[in-house]
Structure 1
Amino acid sequence: MKKILFLLVLTLGITSCTFTEEIMINPDGSGKYILQMDGSAFMAMMPKDSVSGSMGKSIDSVFSFKKILEEKKDSITKLSLKEQERLKKLENFKMHLKMKEDSKEFLFSLFSPFSSVAELQEMTNNIKELNALDKKTQSIGPMSDIGIFGNNGATMNYTYNGKKFTRKAVANQSQQKDLKNDSLNSYQMIFESSKYIVKYHFPKAVKKVNNPTALFSEDRKTITLEYSFNEYRREPEKLNLEIEFVK
């Protein structure tokens, strides 16, 4: 597990990646959240047999977050009750890692169902806390690295009432300052070539969206927007959305 997550972080430092934030919303407001990283370009650069030699055979595995939390329960008890509650609310998350040398695939995804958009908002805001919590205890371990991929120093707010959907990122100035000084900044050129894609699926056709660059599916129930990863990290408000649906 440590080697796997180390490789994910290493990927960020070697080549460009594509990150996709995907949300599927059902008519009752429940749905599924997926955060995916496609590092296949990294695999294409790796020398032949280097992956199998260092990691073993090709991997296509799903890891239960609940199981990881259970394995780390002794370390987690060192956290405050509030922090322990944050982690418990992530129990439904699972991680999927697919790494195949022959087809040059390297896909990592973090996903979970949600019962309401309010729950989705809480989940996404708790993900980014993982890395911060590990810095406090230095005991949660490699699962804390997951928080790096979804953290841009902003608090996420989602609303959905069947007529309108909004996605609003509120930047935390203190965390934004930390991002400007963090160790990942040595990879600015790589981040600039990396993409952050927002892809949302709705039960109704979209009437209008406040972002003119949005692309629509044929039935107008799916919208897709593409940004540079640097925009996602440095200007989270650029990804704010307001969507109205056909009645």
Structure 2
Amino acid sequence: MKLYKLLSFSFLLATLTSCTFTENITINDNGTGKFSVDLDGSSMMAMAGDQLGQQMGADAKKDMDSTFTFKQLFEEKKDSIAKLSPEMQKELKKIENFVVHTKMSSEKKEFLMTLSTDFKKVNEMQDILQTISTLQKLEGGTGMNPLGSNFGDNKSKLNYTYDGKKFTRKAIIDKQKITEKANDSAADMSKMIFASSNYVVKYHFPKKIKKVSNPNALFSEDRKTITIQYPFTDYMENPDKLNFDVEFEK
């Protein structure tokens, strides 16, 4: 399946159905790690069958297990990228090593997509989700963000910090973007589309967790992993609600 067709398919599913988005971070002892966002649209895939069939044709009936990188996508879009500003090209460079893995089975009613990348330090991931949303700015880029056109564009800048003693996830609200969103009729449509979707953060650390500032955090048995679930509308409209600190045992 061609990349554009695959991307438009996942985009269609994300905008037609309720989904679960999971933001994963795994940090190793030396500070390196892996970042990923998982999209699970399996539970509602059957409800969108007619629309998906029209969009994908015969491909909608095939099982799929596909992997590609944004670097491959950017190679196909190199002429369009060359027309962008140096700043925008620099932004896209940040995500070229992301790997996109998609599994789909109409028979099993399964649709799973993972965007993942490795990092040397967690602060390399600053604004990474916002950068993914810039895919829409490419020529013919409508529908190229596999997680949905508004994903990552939630009027904030997201920062991560980790020093071995404390981890912080902090979204800083961009007041200018709040004003722009208030005048954007598409915002109401997005709110309706994602009203029944969830946003989950799941972080694994190399040390046992002493405490988390969010009282809804669930701990793994070894107290090295936390999971927190939010309504997706919080991620989109009140991203600072997803801010929290993690302190570790000595």
Q: CA RMSD in A?
A: 2.3
Could you tell me which of 126, 132, 144 is aligned with 1:127? 132
- Name whichever of 171-180 and 87-96 sits farther off: 171-180
C-alpha deviations, 1:141-180, integer Å up to 9, x for none? Answer: 6534556323312101111000000000011122234444
Tell me by how many angstroms 1:2 deviates: 2.7
SS of residue in 1 equivalent to 2:126: helix
Could you tell me which of 19, 25, 31 is aligned with 1:23? 25
Matched, 1:9 2:11: yes
Moved over 6 A (4+): none
Tell me by how many angstroms 1:18 deviates: 0.5
Could you tell me which of 74, 77, 84 is aligned with 1:72? 77
1:153 maps to: 155
Kindly tell me: are residues 122 and 43 of structure 1, through their superposed partners in 2, closer, same or farther at Cα, counting changes over 3 Å? Answer: closer
Tell me by how many angstroms 1:96 deviates: 1.0
Q: Separation in 1 of the partners of 2:176 and 2:218? A: 33
Matched, 1:226 2:210: no
Could you tell me which of 206, 211, 216 is aligned with 2:214? 211
Kindly tell me: are residues 145 and 97 of structure 1, through their superposed partners in 2, closer, same or farther at Cα, counting changes over 3 Å? Answer: closer
Could you tell me which of 63, 68, 72 is aligned with 1:63? 68
Kindly tell me: are residues 11 and 144 of structure 1, through their superposed partners in 2, closer, same or farther at Cα, counting changes over 3 Å? Answer: closer
Kindly tell me: are residues 80 and 52 of structure 1, through their superposed partners in 2, closer, same or farther at Cα, counting changes over 3 Å? Answer: closer
CA contact (8 A) 1:209 1:242 kept: yes
Matched, 1:185 2:188: yes
Q: Percent identity?
A: 47
- Name whichever of 44-53 and 169-178 sits farther off: 44-53
- Name whichever of 138-147 and 201-210 sits farther off: 138-147
Matched, 1:102 2:88: no
How many residues align structurally?
Answer: 243
AA of the residue aligned to 1:223: I
Q: Give the alignment's TM-score, normalised by structure 2.
A: 0.88
Could you tell me which of 195, 201, 206 is aligned with 2:204? 201
1:143 maps to: 144
Could you tell me which of 238, 243, 246 is aligned with 2:246? 243
Kindly tell me: are residues 214 and 70 of structure 1, through their superposed partners in 2, closer, same or farther at Cα, counting changes over 3 Å? Answer: same
AA of the residue aligned to 1:214: A
CA contact (8 A) 1:20 1:37 kept: yes
- Name whichever of 19-28 and 142-151 sits farther off: 142-151
Tell me by how many angstroms 1:54 deviates: 4.9
2:172 maps to: 170
Tell me by how many angstroms 1:114 deviates: 0.7
Tell me by how many angstroms 1:97 deviates: 1.2
Tell me by how many angstroms 1:212 deviates: 0.5
CA contact (8 A) 2:126 2:159 kept: yes
C-alpha deviations, 1:53-77, integer Å up to 9, x for none? Answer: 3545221101111111111111111
CA contact (8 A) 1:35 1:150 kept: no
CA contact (8 A) 1:52 1:101 kept: no
CA contact (8 A) 2:70 2:97 kept: yes
C-alpha deviations, 1:34-71, integer Å up to 9, x for none? Answer: 11111112322244994673545221101111111111
SS of residue in 1 equivalent to 2:150: helix
CA contact (8 A) 1:76 1:140 kept: no
AA of the residue aligned to 2:212: V
Q: Separation in 2 of the partners of 1:47 and 1:230? A: 25
Q: Separation in 2 of the partners of 1:115 and 1:125? A: 20
